[in-house]
Amino acid sequence: MTAIGFHASHEQIHPRELLEAVIHAESVGFDAAMCSDHFAPWSERQGHSGFAWSWLGSALQATGLSFGVVNAPGQRYHPAIIAQAIGTLGAMYPGRFWAALGSGEAANEHITGDAWPRKDVRNARLRECVEIIRALLAGEEVSHDGLVRVDRAKLWSRPEQPPALVGAAVSVATARWCAEWADGLITVNAAPDHLRRMIDAYREAGGRGPVHLQVHLSWAPAQAEAEAIAYDQWRSNVFAPPVCWDLATPEHFDVVSAEVPMSRLAEVVNISADLGRHVGWLEEYVELGFDQIALHHVGQEQRPFLDAFGEQVLPKLRGSAG
């Protein structure tokens, strides 16, 4: 049965409130959770950027849920440090933690003052980071001279079973590439035909492990309110690569999204006051074969969404899946 998780958006919500939200998500019936890992929000209106790794320790201790995080090693984070973070959480909470690895966005990575590399270089750097992280989690001493450098690094506190390293992708080509190295795949909501092609490309290229989906949605008791929430909080997130990869600051995203039409926003966020409509959308994703679906209500107030979906959406999804 598909696990239905809660996505914790550090860009939008104070970390203390986000911890309260994930505790509440477990209490209303969500099966799992995942979170973002940002240094900056996508918009000044979002206004937060809590440190994911500090928060994850609290969230794993405060709940019994499994957790994932989407991370970009190689520039803002040295891969040896990410291996240490993954290893510590895996050792403390066996079987409950996974990390999705991607090539990142300039909005988070430019803070180091280093140049933002081309996409092909970022992909090559990510592959190096993945191999370094795997070797460290396996207990090896690692030295490496390439796009990243490591000198005689070794992890001394490690889990018995290394957490899964999942590949993050939004295109069919990247999904196929992730099959070369990942323990699973994660992507975001899109047209069902596109999602089917992504899963097929990953599996046909030999991809192993679970496939995850992050679903951006906006719900409120009234349609106008659901639309207003989405427009205020998520219209800066409608831009396809390479734009979303290469803009540097929340101000940049706010300027380019100032006049985004609602029709464009509805292409990337499932917006409806009708809970039945949300059930229908999610049933389509379940039928595609996703192992875990993480729901991201794009508003800053999470409790009404959690209560409504816990009472009226999750039971229907489990009934249809059974």
* Active site residue ranges: 38, 105
DSSP string, 16-69: HHHHHHHHHHHHTT--EEEE---SS-SSTTT-----HHHHHHHHHHH---EEEE
Nearest of 159, 213, 154, 204 to residue 177 by alpha carbon: 204
Under a CB-based contact definition with an 8 Å cutoff, are residues 7 and 296 in contact?
Answer: yes
Q: How far is CA 233 from CA 47, 71, 214, 255, in A?
A: 10, 22, 17, 14
Query: Alpha helix locations (H) across 151-273?
Result: 172-178, 192-204, 223-234, 243-246, 250-256, 262-265
The span from the CA of 188 to the CA of 211, in Å, is 11
* Angle (CA) 316 196 108, round 5°: 90
> Partners of 218 in the beta sheet?
271
Burial class of residue 236 in the structure, from the number of CB atoms within 10 Å of its CB (0-12 exposed, 13-18 middle, 19+ buried): buried
51: CB partners within 8 A, 6+ apart: 10, 15
Q: Hey, how many other C-beta atoms are within 10 angstroms of the C-beta on 156?
A: 7
Q: How far is CA 161 from CA 85, 89, 119, in A?
A: 15, 12, 32
